[in-house]
Amino acid sequence: MRVIGTAGHVDHGKSTLIEAITGTHPDRLKEEKAREMTIELGFGWLTLPNGEEVGIVDVPGHRDFIENMLSGIGGIDAALLVIAADEGVMPQTKEHLAILDLLQIPAGLIVLTKTDLASDSGWLDLVETDVRTVVSGTVLKDTPILRVSARNGTGIKELISAIEKLLQEKPARPDLNRPRLPIDRVFTISGFGTVVTGTLSDGHISIGDEVEILPNGLKGRIRGLQTHKRKEERAVPGSRTAVNISGVDTEQVRRGDVLTSPGQYQATRRIDVHFRALKDMSKTIQHNDEVKFFVGASETMATARLLGMEELGAGEEGWLQLELREPLVAVRGDRYILRRPSPSETLGGGVVVDHQPKGRHKRFDTDVLKSLESLAQGSPADILLEAAMALQAASLKEMIAKSRLESTIAESALQELLATGQIVLLEGDASNTDSLAIALPHWNTLQEKILQLVEAHHKQYPLRRGIPREELKSKLKLALKVFNAVLSLLVARHALLDQRGAVSKLGHEIRFNEQQQIKVQTLMRKFEANPYATPSLKDCQAEAGEEVVNALIESGELTSVSADVIFRKKDYDEMVERIRTALRQHGQITLAEVRDLLGTTRKYVQALLEHLDGIGVTVRDGDARKLRK
């Protein structure tokens, strides 16, 4: 599940473009309809040609509403920078572009809208040249430019294809098993109660889960989930999600709060950050300046304490400690934006380095500055986890080597990651560096894929025990050692069963429907009538169907002794015991003697004896058989 956000100047056609590609107009407030301008966040969604569902967040373009824009743009996977072809680059275009760059949005497209109003190709070429100049040096410097008209449909199909290609090249968000949903809307639905919406990150949530809403520590339980107006049992990272919560009143929740699993996060009033000022910032930032701090869907006033400098000018970078007026939730690595409250101006932004500093720093303490530099590179555990993420499934030795951490530091970091479950041992133990392991996000993704493949096989072939091991391994494209270790762990955790070369979900049973049951009963009567001269495999399949016959064999009701000879299990066991008894009495037995013993024909006896030779019950000695010792 991915989320795309729009950005661009007011009245450049963002909402109309979303309606053209999704069929849903994102403006939902009466005031927005009247003013033809997006004030709050609007939403739409579409299904791409490859079947992937994508949510689209429409954000305001007008200067007066840019702070609402910031609450929506932080959780997106890609951005559409929308520029009207008849006007070109405008002030809010540049400000939105600066915000996208500060937030390091991972992917994007530039969309020239309203080309029906500027059809001259020479003019469009000039606009594109101007756009290329403006985006140079930003995250969108190499981004494709697409020409569209939402009014007449020109370029819409090409835009949808470009979105699909863009997202295919970007990895899905990892599941770190620590869900975090910054709340950007709160409302009530009659008969259901409190509903909050946001873009889920860092983990998954399911119906029935207990949740906590920070910073106030409200506890509730998930009674319903929706993604794109479709009910879901489980929401995954990156999905645009609506959560119906019991035990929490609407009045207790506000935009900017964060929905999490209990005990996963803590709110803070102090944050250490690395800051990059915009090149066109109007005046320097002074120590103790009041600023507006935006992270996730939250905003609060903050005091900016400059560390290691007296002032910070346009285009410069430095360290800040922000004293927040209101508590909020953020984690190391979150991107943020600072704005000047009056007159309103985007100052710059950067990345959170420490979301729980121990206290107020001395401004010119060299040890503090060195510590911040080190934290910006990541803690040893962060570095080792990144190495594990890059390697997928690998030995602990390989993960440590890739991290380039000193051995004692690496060992401590490894123990921390194992204790918190961020690295999962597939086999062996932590004391052996040859043990195979995998980072938690990769494990969650792999586990989910395996369970989906097994479930899909059960649905497609309900009369089979499970998916063959080799088929599952082939679909997963895993090395044999990794596949065996992963499957063994899932079996040990009671997520799957692995029996006789077939992998199934726990509790899966072969069940015949009423029509199939009638066919089985008819077939079994034929076996009962001639237990040692049974219908051929082809006759059985013609009578009951290939899947039904295979199910009877897999469940053990029928036993196949050759490509065309099968018996009921009870009759097969009886024949084998009679042959064993005769061999124990006489030492050996011929094919003709077995034929007379069972009162059947050579065809069935020969198939049965060759089968018993193959499984090691008997051994051939000339024209006779003996019991294998």
* 365 touches 251 (CB < 8 A): no
Average pLDDT, the chain: 87
Q: Quick check: 582 pLDDT over 90? A: yes
Assign a CATH topology to domain 518-627: Arc Repressor Mutant, subunit A (1.10.10)
Tokens of 333: 């690595």
* Domain 382-407+414-509 matches domain 518-627 at the CATH topology level: yes
Q: What are phi and psi of 47, to 5 degrees?
A: -105, 120
DSSP 346-370: EEEEEEEEESS-SSPPPTT-HHHHH
pLDDT digits (tens, 9 = 90+) for 320-340: 999 999 999 998 888 899 999
DSSP 207-235: TT-EEEEETTTEEEEEEEEEETTEEESEE
Please report, for the chain, the start and end positions of each structural domain, with discontinuous segments joined by +: 2-168, 180-260, 270-377, 382-407+414-509, 518-627
DSSP 162-178: HHHHHHHTSPPPP--S-
Q: Quick check: 41 pLDDT over 60? A: no
Q: Quick check: 27 pLDDT over 80? A: no
pLDDT at position 67: 56
Rounded-to-integer distance, Cα 183 and Cα 197, Å:
6
Indicate the pLDDT class of residue 42, thresholds 50, 70 and 90. Answer: low
- For the domain covering 270-377, report its CATH number: 2.40.30.10
Q: Report how far apart, in Å, the C-alpha atoms of 557 and of each of 419, 502, 515, 551 are.
A: 47, 17, 18, 9
* 502 touches 467 (CB < 8 A): yes
pLDDT at position 467: 92
pLDDT at position 72: 55
* 380 touches 388 (CB < 8 A): no
SS3 447: helix
Q: Report how far apart, in Å, the C-alpha atoms of 181 and of each of 204, 224, 226, 329 are.
A: 10, 15, 14, 10
pLDDT digits (tens, 9 = 90+) for 87-128: 899 988 888 888 888 888 878 999 999 988 887 888 888 999
| Closest-CA residue to 108 (of 135, 133, 136, 78) | 78
Assign a CATH topology to domain 382-407+414-509: Arc Repressor Mutant, subunit A (1.10.10)
Tokens of 60: 């305001």
Q: Quick check: 69 pLDDT over 60? A: no
More confident residue, 398 or 191: 398
Rounded-to-integer distance, Cα 215 and Cα 327, Å:
6
More confident residue, 108 or 190: 108
Q: How do beta strands 234-235 and 205-206 pair?
A: antiparallel
pLDDT at position 34: 52
Indicate the pLDDT class of residue 1, thresholds 50, 70 and 90. Answer: low
pLDDT at position 60: 62
Of 40-49, 247-256, 273-282, 584-593, minimum mean pLDDT range:
40-49
pLDDT at position 25: 64
What element of type H or E holds 155? none
pLDDT at position 471: 94
Question: What is the four-CA torsion angle of 533, 538, 544, 546, rounded to 10 degrees?
Answer: 130
More confident residue, 316 or 378: 316
Rounded-to-integer distance, Cα 518 and Cα 217, Å:
59
Q: How do beta strands 311-312 and 285-286 pair?
A: antiparallel
Burial class (CB in 10 A: 0-12, 13-18, 19+), 303: middle
Q: What is the CA radius of gyration of the chain?
A: 33
DSSP 460-518: H-TTSSSEEHHHHHHHHT--HHHHHHHHHHHHHTTSEEEETTEEEETT------HHHHH
Rounded-to-integer distance, Cα 460 and Cα 18, Å:
37
Q: Report how far apart, in Å, the C-alpha atoms of 143 and of each of 57, 119, 164, 286, 571 are.
A: 19, 22, 14, 36, 72
pLDDT digits (tens, 9 = 90+) for 493-551: 999 999 878 899 888 877 788 888 898 899 999 999 999 999 999 999 998 888 888 88
Q: Quick check: 489 pLDDT over 50? A: yes
* 18 touches 41 (CB < 8 A): no
Write the class of the CATH domain 2-168. alpha beta
Q: Quick check: 23 pLDDT over 80? A: no
pLDDT at position 36: 45
More confident residue, 347 or 54: 347
User: Rounded to an integer, what is the distance from CA 297 to the centroid of its chain?
Assistant: 21
DSSP state of 190: T
Q: Quick check: 35 pLDDT over 70? A: no
Write the class of the CATH domain 180-260. mainly beta
Q: Report how far apart, in Å, the C-alpha atoms of 242 and of each of 230, 255, 261 are.
A: 10, 13, 16
CA angle 163, 168, 172 (to 5 degrees): 110
| Closest-CA residue to 438 (of 480, 482, 492, 481) | 482
pLDDT at position 59: 66
Tokens of 309: 């400098």
